[in-house]
Homo-oligomer: A and B are copies of this chain.
Amino acid sequence: MNELELIAELRSLLATTDPRLVRGLGDDAAIVRGRAYAVTSVDTMVEGVHFRRGQLSADEIGHRALAGALSDLAAMGVNASAGDRGGSADRGGSADRGGADVQAYLALGLPGGIGLDEARALIAGAATLARQLGVTIAGGDVTAAPALVVSFTVVGWADDPSMLVGRDGARPGDLVGVTGTLGGSAAGLAVVEGRVERLDAELTGALRARYARPLPRLAGGRALAAAGVSAMLDISDGLATDSDHLARASGVAIELRLAAVPLAPGVTEVAGALGQDPALFAARGGEDYELCFCASPAGRRTVEAALAEASPETPITWIGEVGEIGGSSPAGARFRDLPDSETGLAGYEHRF
């Protein structure tokens, strides 16, 4: 495919009425009305590394790449729309309820073999998710590449940086919580890869969706930040690895209870079929894009109420505590009900 063919269609695929966009596609740069603080993250997905084209449809690839990038903004507590209730918009806001005021910029590398239809579907997949969440795809570039490369830079805004949450604020005595359920994406990948047979068809579809169409918890993250969580990140590399990142960034020792890890529906069946412990499977599985956060015991009810208000169908599960670092407790996270050698804390973190 000639990239020019796709570019010629991008203006209609990415049409927007976003009043914050002063100048959109077609110039040397986009011009966007800003606010006091810009919150920016980059997430790149590469064919053969982060996904395989045969396993995901083009629109799923586009959706998933944008979702992964937006999940980082969710983890900072970037503003999303106030409403976040029910159905497929459970995890996001909705443009017609005020919008999330987030812009996304796409660097798209297209291999020679890709067709215009496939490239168009990829963009449309991202654009559909963007519209659902009130995100504007405001610019980018398309280039030839030896494999499909989808990189989103996403920008959110805050009027006051104290409304945002880093991963370095956990304090001894805090509780550790997670939103939603874990292991669903890893189980979905096992399904997509054909490693699991004889699963219920409905469950298969639900697990595939968890892997292929994750939804960033923008509204939930904002609610948690407003409720005063002390530290937060999104679970992209798996709870075991990401809680360890949070603990090291905060300079604390985190103890988690593996038995408390909330399992996504189907994880027990899939892990069982693979001969693995379901809780460990869920704790190691990446790309759930749930949020892991810390809060003081005194703030626990406030945090629970805030998430229940913003996202009523999203459970919070308290899975551990933050402790002081000391001689036998170096900075890091561990499961108290598991020998250290089995935690699988080696991870794959690529953001800097």
Q: Give residues of chain A (153-172) contacting chain B, Cβ–Cβ below 8 Å.
A: 153, 155-158, 161, 164, 166-168
CA distance A188 to B25 in the complex (A): 31
Within 8 A of B (CB), among A132-149: 138-147, 149
Chain A interface residues (CB < 8 Å from chain B): 3-4, 7, 10-11, 14, 22-23, 25-46, 48-50, 72-73, 75-76, 78, 103, 105-107, 109, 138-147, 149, 151, 153, 155-158, 161, 164, 166-168, 233-234, 249, 349-352
Q: Which residues in B have their C-beta under 8 angstroms from that of A76?
A: 27-29, 31
- A44-B141, A44-B143 given as contacts; is B38 within 8 A of A155 (CB)? yes
Interface centre among A25, A42, A167, A249 (most CB of B within 10 A): A42
- Residues of B close to A142: CB separation below 8 A: 350, 352
Determine whether the beta carbon of A141 is less than 8 Å from that of B30: no
List 5 A-B pairs, minimum CB-CB distance, nearest first.
A29-B41, A153-B153, A28-B72, A107-B151, A28-B75
Given A107-B44, A143-B350, A249-B26, CB of A164 within 8 Å of CB of B73: no
Complex CA–CA separation, A182 to B116 (angstroms): 34
Q: How many copies does the complex hold?
A: 2
Pair A42/B72 contact, Cβ less than 8 Å: no
Beyond A29-B72, A44-B143, 19 additional contacts (C-beta under 8 Å) are A4-B350, A10-B352, A23-B166, A27-B233, A29-B39, A29-B76, A32-B37, A33-B38, A34-B37, A34-B38, A40-B105, A40-B138, A40-B139, A42-B141, A45-B143, A46-B149, A105-B153, A141-B352, A149-B149
In the assembled complex, the Cα of A30 lies from the Cα of B231 at a distance in Å of 15
Shortest beta-carbon distance from A167 to chain B in Å: 6
Cα A45 to Cα B48 with chains together (Å): 20
B349 and A43 contacting across the interface, CB-CB below 8 Å: no
In the complex, A342→B31 CA distance in Å?
36
Q: Which residues of B contact A36 (CB under 8 A)?
A: 33-34
Find the B residue at minimum CB distance from A74.
B28
Residues of B within 8 A of A27 (CB): 76, 166-168, 233, 249
Specify the chain B residue showing the minimal Cβ separation from A154. B29
Pair A31/B164 contact, Cβ less than 8 Å: yes
Which B residues are CB-close (under 8 A) to A147? 145-147
Partner of A157, one of B34, B140, B158, B233: B34
When the two chains form their complex, are residues B30 and A39 in contact, meaning their CB atoms are under 8 A apart?
A: yes
- Complex CA gap A166/B157 in Å reads 24
Taking a contact as CB atoms closer than 8 A, the residue among B4, B29, B44, B349 that contacts A73 in the complex is B29
Contact B109 A28 (CB under 8 A): no
With contacts A350-B3, A352-B10, A352-B142 taken as known, whether A37 is within 8 angstroms of B25 at the C-beta atoms is no
**Residues of chain B lying within 8 A (CB to CB) of residue A249:** 26-27
